[in-house]
Amino acid sequence: MADPTGARTTNGVDKVAFPVLLGSVDDPDDGLIGFYLDGSDPFGTFHAVGPGSGGTVPARTIDTVAMSIADALTASTCLIDPRCPMHATTGYLPTQSMQIPTEMFRDAVARMAVTFLTAPI
């Protein structure tokens, strides 16, 4: 029987937290180097995309970021190569990619110059 108030019943599906994997170690064209999760301790832990070396920088895992429809938005601060897209994979939906528009960094990269010796060793 339909709800007389018109509200939709989700049976709690909107509260299911899906893991989100940011970046890709296997894709050489993925520009994400690592990220910080904004929250109670912003810039407290840097999550590297590369495999963990057992040091002070933890590698990101499939459960580093988990999101649900009912939760508030999760913000992150990402360190990326602006020339490559960054990927987000859930395993449930197609992989999404985001990229900084070229117009935003083209002039700055064009003005960069190597000012140190680059001769062969």
Q: Domain for residue 76, yes or no?
A: yes
Does residue 9 form part of some domain?
Answer: no
> Strand, helix or coil at 111?
helix
Q: Give domain status of residue 121, yes or no.
A: no
Average pLDDT estimate for 52-66: 67
**Counted domains in the chain:** 1
Q: Is residue 6 a part of any domain in this protein?
A: no
Let me know if residue 119 belongs to a domain: no
Each residue's pLDDT tens digit, 72-83: 888 888 999 998
Structural domain of 103: 16-111
Residue 5 lies in a domain: no
DSSP single-letter state for residue 73:
P
C-alpha to C-alpha distances, 5 to 1, 8, 11, 14, nearest whole angstrom: 12, 9, 16, 19
Residue 1 counted as domain residue: no
Say if residues 35 and 79 touch (Cβ distance below 8 Å): yes
The answer on pLDDT for 1 being more than 60 is no
Of the spans 5-9, 72-76, 82-86, which averages the highest pLDDT?
Answer: 82-86
**63 domain-assigned:** yes
pLDDT tens for each residue of 91-103: 788 989 999 999 9
Q: Is 63 helix (H, G, I), strand (E, B) or coil?
A: coil
